[in-house]
Structures are given as C-alpha cells and as structure tokens.
Amino acid sequence: MSYEIEYFHPSIKEDIEEWPSSIKADYRRISLLLKEYGPNVRMPHTKAMGDGLFEMRPKGRDGIGRALYCYLT
C-alpha cells in the first residue's frame, strides 16, 4: 500500500524547506518511509505522542527538526 503526505497549510512545507540541509535530507528520508510503510514506521524514526498524534524528529549535523503529524483514513 502507498501513502500520501498532505500538509495542513502551505506555510508548514515552507517552514520545513527553511531547515538546514542536513536536517531536510533526513526529513525526506523519513518521509519516504512514511509514504511506503505508513503507520508501521516507529522508533527511532517516529514517536507516538498519544491520541493519534506522532512526532518525526529528523536529525542532521545542524541539530534536530520536529514535525508533528497524524494519519487520516
């Protein structure tokens, strides 16, 4: 099964594009995992925060980025 990533608002994607390149690269890698495996992606790539909310913490030499997301069916 294939999953899609949709952003709640265009500004979210714009904010992510402003992250340092090393963090953006890991974000893209984890995003590809989410597109392929959906809710089966777990630690260390994502963390369940409760009530259907998940956190992605892409890492790079410049630090850590944080993105919150959920799944819709």
| pLDDT at res. 1 | 74
pLDDT of residue 29: 97
Residue 54 or residue 72, greater confidence: 54
Task: Give, to the nearest 10 degrees, the angle between helix 10-17 and helix 21-37.
Answer: 130
Q: What is the pTM of this model?
A: 0.90
73 — pLDDT class (breaks 50, 70, 90):
confident
User: Which 8-state DSSP code applies to residue 40?
Assistant: G
Tens of pLDDT, residue by residue over 4-54, are: 999 999 999 999 999 999 999 999 999 999 999 999 999 999 999 999 999
